[in-house]
Structure 1
């Protein structure tokens, strides 16, 4: 089912939806960027169409909705463990096709990567429905078409933004009641069909472990500064560390937190006894790259990288991950699709 609505009418529907759902979408934080005169675009609660930043790519992905940067797993009070009160309100999340695919990758890590599902992740994930934001034109550094993530099918509602109106596609019957008074039109949400950046993916079966010592990684050892921006802006990076905290005013009370971590960040591989792996930045780049286009693919059948281009957008050293994948493919052989 498709509908065309004025922006004002869609705002009215958002008000009704917000009674049942928490609505999250890319939001422009004025002056919240790297410098005082630059903005940041991240996921926040929205109330109106005006709040949704659809003209630009968000600098951070929607993964924070289900995998927060900092999350309290439980509180400790003397000998008692108390889990935080969890809100049960459902969530509607506006995101693009590549990010819908990214959520599928993160689902695999937390829900299908062993015998036990991560209960903290699953609680949040079960409450989320996706609103697909149409992409009529590619953004800079995107290579979603090469990664096969430019088209998504698993979403509850699709939307194309215009200046004065929106076109909406409803796939989830539970959302249809909000639009039943509107006139139906034939409509399907738009997808990017071509990117300026092209990537040829490697065939994992052709990659020999000896490639891990290839000289190409030495270049990244000289250029990368280990800031971790690529990890934290990436929609599929899912590494974390856990920290137990005792409160200064009462050492019998504390909490356990889960906090984002990343393979490019110092101390990520530190172990007891002062041991540490991958101290040089080139080996960290190798580890990330092989995870995105080698071992994840062999285990789950899809490449972990979805081609959103955020890592290229955010790197202060202008290191291109798209170019890195192409280098791997040149040396090991192209994947046959």
Structure 2
């Protein structure tokens, strides 16, 4: 069902929706960027459409809405363990088509990876409704078309932001929020070509010997293992556990799940002090081949969505998109 409405009317709809849903969208934060006097765009709760940043790419993905940076899983109280409660409110997320594809990769990891489903992820995932922001031009550094993440119909509502707002609504449960608005015939459009193109490698040419290729040496010299690429990536899902004892009573506390990443020191540390991939180039190889080879071999799709956030975030100007192309060139040349 298609609708058109003014921004004022849409704000009234958001106000009505906020009574039952937490509404998240990319929001600008002045002076909170990674360098002094720089801004950052990340996901936060909104009340009005004017808060949504539409003309710039968000520096962080909507991943943290359903896979929080820090998530309390349970509380331990002397001899009792209590599972952490989750809010009864639903969740609406404004996001672009590529990020919907990114969440599908997270679904594969947390819900379809063997016979065990991650119940903490699933509780949040079941609450989410996607309000897809129409994206027809992309941004510098995007290569979603190459990764086949530029189009999707897996949304609750698709929205075009012009002077008025056009909506393709698929969820009957939300129809009553829009019943007073003018109906139209509306279908979203999608970007067909990015400025940046990436060529994925021929996976049949990847052999165990390729993992020792000299092309990874460059990243041993450039990468500083800060992990920014991991944390801005929507499909990076790794985490570690923290048990926190309360200061007033060390016999009580909580267990938290906290983001971790394969580029970060300590990620592969084991009991006894042994750690894998001490060399930073090895970490780049691991991440790259997991994104474009291993995950695809297991699940039939690449893990990367082509959003380019990792390229934007790297303080050493390491480009993941160029790395993919280098892998393809090396395989085609038989290196």
Match of 2:114 in 1: 114
Match of 2:192 in 1: 193
Match of 2:255 in 1: 256
> Aligned ranges for residues 217-256 of structure 1 at < 5 Å?
217-256=216-255
**Segment drifting more, 305-314 vs 22-31:** 22-31
How far off its partner does 1:22 sit?
1.1
Q: Secondary structure at the match of 1:75?
A: strand
Measure, in 1, the Cα distance between the counterparts of 2:298 and 2:253. Answer: 38
Match of 1:9 in 2: 9
Q: Secondary structure at the match of 1:243?
A: strand
Match of 1:78 in 2: 78
Match of 1:28 in 2: 28
Q: Secondary structure at the match of 1:144?
A: coil
Instruction: Give the unaligned 5+ runs of structure 2.
Output: none
Deviations 1:88-145 (A, max 9, x none): 1111100000000000000000001111100111011000010100112110100000
**Segment drifting more, 148-157 vs 84-93:** 84-93
Measure, in 2, the Cα distance between the counterparts of 1:203 and 1:169. Answer: 38
Match of 1:304 in 2: 303
Match of 1:205 in 2: 204
Instruction: Give the unaligned 5+ runs of structure 1.
Output: none
How far off its partner does 1:248 sit?
2.7
Following TM superposition, where does structure 1 have runs of at least 4 consecutive aligned residues deviating by more than 4 angstroms? none
Deviations 1:239-274 (A, max 9, x none): 000121222321211111110000110111111111
Deviations 1:137-160 (A, max 9, x none): 110100000000000110000111
How far off its partner does 1:333 sit?
4.2
Match of 2:264 in 1: 265
Measure, in 2, the Cα distance between the counterparts of 1:158 and 1:47. Answer: 18
Q: Secondary structure at the match of 2:315?
A: coil
Deviations 1:56-92 (A, max 9, x none): 1111111101100011111111111111221111111
Measure, in 2, the Cα distance between the counterparts of 1:319 and 1:230. Answer: 10
> Aligned ranges for residues 34-73 of structure 1 at < 5 Å?
34-73=34-73
Deviations 1:177-199 (A, max 9, x none): 21112121121122111111100
Measure, in 1, the Cα distance between the counterparts of 2:212 and 2:35. Answer: 38
Contact 1:204 1:297 in 2 (8 A): no
When normalised by structure 1's length, the TM-score is 0.96
Q: Say how many residue pairs are matched.
A: 333
**Segment drifting more, 103-112 vs 1-10:** 1-10
Deviations 1:40-67 (A, max 9, x none): 1111110000111111111111110110
2:153 is equivalent to residue 153 of structure 1: yes
Q: Secondary structure at the match of 2:226?
A: coil
Measure, in 1, the Cα distance between the counterparts of 2:245 and 2:37. Answer: 39
Measure, in 1, the Cα distance between the counterparts of 2:169 and 2:301. Answer: 27
2:89 is equivalent to residue 89 of structure 1: yes
Measure, in 2, the Cα distance between the counterparts of 1:229 and 1:73. Answer: 25
